[in-house]
Structure 1
Amino acid sequence: MTWIQPVDPLHNLTLSALVAIMPVLVVFWALIIKKSKGYKASLMACAVAIVLAIVVYEMPVKLAVLSVANGALYGFFPICWIVISAVFLFNLTVKAGQFEVIKHSMASITADRRLQAILIAFSFGAFLEGTAGFGAPVAISAAMLVGLEFDAMYATGLCLLANTVPVAFGSVGIPVAVASQVSGLPEMEISQMIGRTLPVLSLITPLYLVMIMAGFKKSMEVLPAILVSGGSFAVLQFVTSNFLGPALPDIVAGIGSIICLVVFLKFWKPKNIWRFANEKSPLKLVKEDYTFNEVITAWSPFLLLTVVILTWGLPPVKEFLNAKSQLQFNFPGLHNAIVDLSGKPLAHIFKFNYLSAAGTAVLISALVAVPVIGLSYRQALTVFGETMKQLKFPIITIMSVLSFAYVLNDSGITTTIALLLANTGPLFPFFAPVLGWLGVFITGSDTASTALFAKLQYVTATQIGVAPVVTVAANCSGGVVGKMISPQSIAVAAAAGGLVGKESALFRFTLKHSFFILLFLCFFVLGQAYWFTWIIPKSAPVAHTLSVADAGLPGYSWLILTAVVIAIFVASLKLTGKKA
């Protein structure tokens, strides 16, 4: 027996939407006004969503309970799995005393906090988003900045803000691929449209981050470095998204901007080294204290992470690992038991891809790094236990947030809000990014947001005579702004940054920036739809887009090659270390 979602339960779409928005408003109320801890706010919002689904939308209690269970399971794997592995890797580095060396090595590049934030939160975070996605970029980059003795609130807040521009091309372009599948538009066309929107944000994001940290006047002191970072990222993001496809923009732009900025800093230094007001004096340069081998050893967990996670992002590797290990099942009692507005049963298939998951890639990197950084596996096991204890409340938060998201989507509450926005007629392009923003706020994923709303974006744009690629791409672009305030992202960042229990403060830190950037995108997309239509790519299908899999090697070959590279790297460290 199936249940049909009543997307207009009160027989008045405006009234239904006002009621539907209540669970979202509860999140804002709990975090901004009530200043609740993250797990309490998410449990509260989840409870309201369940009551609304059962009472107003008349969702069967059994389906509501199963939806909560499905969301909680997905919250634990793969989301919590990524956070656990990322924090574990960072904790290993701290336990071994290697993070002290990393602090000094960062000072050798630049002791300026403004530039360190750009390198780690913006560029390195974008690279991680392009390869792993989910919560890995924020978790790892926030932990690194906190380890570098950044103010915890600034560290986590900056990482959330910096993790906006790469999200649409995250996880080797999966959000674009899903948008293409759901809307029917060519993948390359969507990639090109996003690639003509987000580089504008990419160009200004480093400046925006520094202004938040130090103010306008202090940001002008490092403007040349900001322009090098943002400019190189924007150019590389534009070129790759428009000519190579959606798989590579984050990876190429992230690595490229790091290289460009590091090289630039060899020839240019800011006149004044800026640091936080309550901070100790800057560290001495690494060359006075540590050998090259010691520096590389200290960075080895993150270097290994880069190699492994890049390999895990390759489609042939994912396919090979999934073929060998993936377990999947239809969620009992829930799969195809709910029918949406179009009459299509909603699939609920849980995929336990324990080998190909990004969290597993991070864990493997950590385990390989254990003897390299001078720890025993017995010590590593102790660190893992401490990490699990550290993350007990964030795990509850993330699982309840995903339960909240699943109930909203399965009951039809999300669709009600989306339909109201779709009824705005010629103004719809203005609200198209809002749909993406809302989807990512609820689900924590740009991929999930495009799966929810890409078809609605396509149909509505066609009805009002706007190029559908504008609104479909706007769903992805708007979604990136919702990422910084998504309860899931807030929970991940708080866990990595040591701000467990202070999620409300972190939410308030990012909220105004999310609204400001969203408003900018709304006007920008409206202009794309009606005024500067020359920016819209031609709708000629592209037969092939270049991807990271184009070398043609099968998945097991990439894994063998990666193992050889890692073995050579570790052996070289050991040999040069003995000589030293």
Structure 2
Amino acid sequence: MYKQVLDPVSHSLGLTAIFAVLPLLTLFVLLGGLRMKAHWASLIALGVAVMVAIVVYSMPIGQTLDAGAEGVAFGFFPIMWIVINALWIFHMTEKTGDFAVLRRAFSSVSNDQRVQVVIIAFCFGALLEALAGFGTPIAICSVMLVGVGFTPIKAVVLALVADTAPVAFGGIAIPITTLASVTGLPKEELSQMIGRQMLPLAILVPFILIYMVDGRRGVRETWPAALVAGGVFGVVQLGTSNFISPELTNIFAALAAAAALVALLHVWAPKVHEGSTVRPATPVRPVIAGAAHTDAALERRLAADEGRPLSTRATLRAFAPYMIIIGVLGVSSLHAVARQFDKATTLFAWPGLHVFNAGGEPLSSEIFKLNWLTAPGNQLFVCGLLTAAVLGVAPRQAVEVFVSTVVKLRWAIVTVCSVLALAYVMNLSGQTITLGMWMAGAGAAFAFLSPIVGWFGTAVTGSDTSANSLFGGLQVSAAHQSHLSATLLAAANSSGGVMGKMISPQNLAIGAAAVGLTGKEGDIFRKVIGWSILLVLIMAVLVWLQSTNVLSWMVP
């Protein structure tokens, strides 16, 4: 049995926090500073976390290793299991040539890359986040952006930055449901507050994406597309979260934004300034970036088809895998269906773990959940089987593509499992809570720091849901001590957490693996860290203003 002591160094949170932050400093310095490959950086950082847990926090060696083992298991299921199946589906569409048709379909809406990044990374990515979450939108949108002409590293960076606005509501509002359960606050109030906090971010993100593609002049030329997509997404997200249902928020917002943007493009087209680096989408080989070989015969056929108009049948076939995903995940998320599927869930205490928090209560993270029917990864596996049938992929070829996908993701699997092991060791030993409580000592100024705590939690765990589970109670406790609104700070944890997702090693590894850039996670990290910090600081200022008389009217 291990009981957490949050200030083991001279009974000082400040001194203890110096040691607690070492694993994270190690990870980010190795990634961003020394450009070390993510799997080695995460393994070294895991070793530092284990040493801090054992030496500083006096956690028994066996319990420390058990905590890491549970993190490894969670890293593979559900997280990497989702990514494996999502990319399996995508790779089958590459083999059949349907992805090339999908690329042409997106180009038919607009062949301007600045508009395409908003359609694919922002609108379509938000829909994938609503249905599957975790790394699915990053994996799929990255390779789709490569398919319409972006370089692999640019595609990953754009997909990571785009996957922010929908994350607070996540897949079927799981982050908010989790936050309500750990804080005891009404889910409806949290949904309302988060919707009001996310509106400025939703409007801003499409402008940032266009700026990343073509600079300030590009924004001047395509601002109507950014404003329509971001404005409609933000307004629908606000309205749905406040007046309808948090579970439907991202689905409604993503579909409305895409429909509004397509409608705009029927009456308006962006101009391209002289000297712009933007170019119309060009055909690319129908394989993942970095692959060793392709099907030459298939490429010749696709090249011959490139100039012909798309038939309705070919277009429907190209979109079929994604319609299958939307259908299967959408039906599975219905309350009545999910309640029946939940009956197949297996819960068990992780062997060897007996950890209590500082108050003497057992930690819920000791319980491992195998949700056989409701796990998005299992549902995506079913989608893969249906996709193979619809596209006419032979069983043997489908198996070969699946094995190839796992092989390509092998280092990403190591990275994600290592980082989740690090997160579990830090969480169960008390290192993460030490850092959070130390920051909570800022008093009324904690309103500014509150989103940063959520940002930090998501950066470590790779999940806004996990960050809410980790720090939701802490935010409420800090709110009471600082005489601030508990709803405001709890919501800020989720709203601030979304900006941490783009720098989390798990998502960096997923994006890099998807486009054949395994080992380049440090390069990607350096390109997104500035945007992550800028956006979380904007959210911090907004939350601080909401804690004052200036914007207190926004708090339910």
Deviation of 1:431 after TM superposition, in Å, equals 0.6
Distance 1:5 1:320 in 2: 37
Deviation of 1:226 after TM superposition, in Å, equals 1.2
Residue pairs, 1:561-580, within 5 angstroms:
none
Q: Residue 149 and residue 354 in structure 1: after superposition, are their counterparts in 2 closer, same or farther (change >3 A)? A: farther
Q: Residue 274 and residue 73 in structure 1: after superposition, are their counterparts in 2 closer, same or farther (change >3 A)? A: farther
Give the conservation status (yes or no) of the 8 Å contact 2:148–2:281. Answer: no
Distance 2:444 2:328 in 1: 47
Distance 1:504 1:217 in 2: 29
Pick one of 437, 445, 449 that aligns with 2:467: 449
Write the deviation string for residues 180-232 of structure 1: whole angstroms up to 9, x where unpaired: 12212111111111111101100111001110111011121111111111111
Name the structure 2 match of 1:392. 410
Name the structure 2 match of 1:3. 2
Deviation of 1:355 after TM superposition, in Å, equals 2.4
Deviation of 1:243 after TM superposition, in Å, equals 0.8
Distance 1:34 1:507 in 2: 12
Deviation of 1:274 after TM superposition, in Å, equals 10
Pick one of 292, 307, 311 that aligns with 2:312: 292
Name the structure 1 match of 2:345. 326
Deviation of 1:258 after TM superposition, in Å, equals 0.6
> Would you say 1:340 and 2:334 are equivalent positions?
no
What letter is aligned with 2:72? Answer: A
Name the structure 1 match of 2:234. 234
Name the structure 1 match of 2:111. 111
Residues 133-142 or 47-56, more deviating: 133-142
Name the structure 1 match of 2:296. none
Deviation of 1:446 after TM superposition, in Å, equals 1.1
Q: Residue 29 and residue 274 in structure 1: after superposition, are their counterparts in 2 closer, same or farther (change >3 A)? A: farther
SS of the counterpart of 1:351? Answer: strand
Distance 2:530 2:132 in 1: 27
Give the conservation status (yes or no) of the 8 Å contact 2:138–2:159. Answer: yes
Distance 1:156 1:119 in 2: 15
Write the deviation string for residues 354-396 of structure 1: whole angstroms up to 9, x where unpaired: 3221112222222212132232121111111111111111111
What letter is aligned with 1:333? Answer: G
Q: Residue 307 and residue 174 in structure 1: after superposition, are their counterparts in 2 closer, same or farther (change >3 A)? A: same
What letter is aligned with 1:408? Answer: M
In structure 1, runs of 5+ residues without a counterpart are 539-580
Pick one of 361, 365, 379 that aligns with 1:361: 379
Distance 1:280 1:110 in 2: 9
SS of the counterpart of 2:29? Answer: helix
What letter is aligned with 2:207? Answer: L
Name the structure 2 match of 1:305. 325
Write the deviation string for residues 10-49 of structure 1: whole angstroms up to 9, x where unpaired: 1222111111111110111110111011111111110110
Name the structure 2 match of 1:157. 157
Pick one of 426, 433, 443 that aligns with 1:425: 443
Q: Residue 154 and residue 281 in structure 1: after superposition, are their counterparts in 2 closer, same or farther (change >3 A)? A: closer
What letter is aligned with 2:243? Answer: F
Deviation of 1:536 after TM superposition, in Å, equals 3.4
SS of the counterpart of 2:7? Answer: coil
Name the structure 2 match of 1:459. 477
Distance 1:272 1:438 in 2: 39
Residues 383-392 or 284-293, more deviating: 284-293
Distance 1:480 1:322 in 2: 27
Name the structure 1 match of 2:286. none
Q: Residue 84 and residue 312 in structure 1: after superposition, are their counterparts in 2 closer, same or farther (change >3 A)? A: same
Give the conservation status (yes or no) of the 8 Å contact 2:70–2:421. Answer: yes
Give the conservation status (yes or no) of the 8 Å contact 2:165–2:198. Answer: yes
What letter is aligned with 1:338? Answer: V
Deviation of 1:273 after TM superposition, in Å, equals 9.0
SS of the counterpart of 2:347? Answer: strand
SS of the counterpart of 1:342? Answer: coil
Distance 1:193 1:92 in 2: 41
Deviation of 1:169 after TM superposition, in Å, equals 0.5
Deviation of 1:282 after TM superposition, in Å, equals 4.1
Name the structure 2 match of 1:168. 168
What letter is aligned with 1:299? Answer: F
Q: Residue 245 and residue 371 in structure 1: after superposition, are their counterparts in 2 closer, same or farther (change >3 A)? A: closer
Name the structure 2 match of 1:536. 554
Distance 2:435 2:415 in 1: 24
Give the conservation status (yes or no) of the 8 Å contact 1:127–1:254. Answer: yes
Give the conservation status (yes or no) of the 8 Å contact 1:440–1:448. Answer: yes
Name the structure 1 match of 2:300. none
Name the structure 1 match of 2:192. 192
Write the deviation string for residues 215-260 of structure 1: whole angstroms up to 9, x where unpaired: 0111211111111111110110110111123211111000110111
Distance 2:370 2:187 in 1: 27
Deviation of 1:290 after TM superposition, in Å, equals 2.6
SS of the counterpart of 1:169? Answer: coil
SS of the counterpart of 1:327? Answer: strand
Residues 505-514 or 360-369, more deviating: 360-369
Give the conservation status (yes or no) of the 8 Å contact 1:120–1:145. Answer: yes
What letter is aligned with 1:20? Answer: A
> Would you say 1:487 and 2:505 are equivalent positions?
yes
Deviation of 1:275 after TM superposition, in Å, equals 11
Distance 1:53 1:253 in 2: 43
Pick one of 435, 453, 456 that aligns with 2:453: 435
Residues 453-462 or 391-400, more deviating: 453-462
Pick one of 401, 418, 436 that aligns with 1:383: 401
Distance 1:55 1:378 in 2: 51
Distance 2:88 2:328 in 1: 16
Give the conservation status (yes or no) of the 8 Å contact 1:111–1:273. Answer: no
Distance 1:273 1:76 in 2: 46
Q: Residue 461 and residue 275 in structure 1: after superposition, are their counterparts in 2 closer, same or farther (change >3 A)? A: farther
Distance 1:443 1:212 in 2: 26
SS of the counterpart of 1:248? Answer: helix
SS of the counterpart of 1:352? Answer: strand
Deviation of 1:319 after TM superposition, in Å, equals 2.2
What TM-score comes out, normalization by structure 1 length? 0.89
Q: Residue 173 and residue 9 in structure 1: after superposition, are their counterparts in 2 closer, same or farther (change >3 A)? A: same
Residues 174-183 or 466-475, more deviating: 174-183
Deviation of 1:537 after TM superposition, in Å, equals 3.7
Residue pairs, 1:464-483, within 5 angstroms:
464-483=482-501
Name the structure 2 match of 1:517. 535
Name the structure 1 match of 2:391. 373
Q: Number of residues paired by the alignment?
A: 534
Name the structure 1 match of 2:147. 147
SS of the counterpart of 1:501? Answer: coil
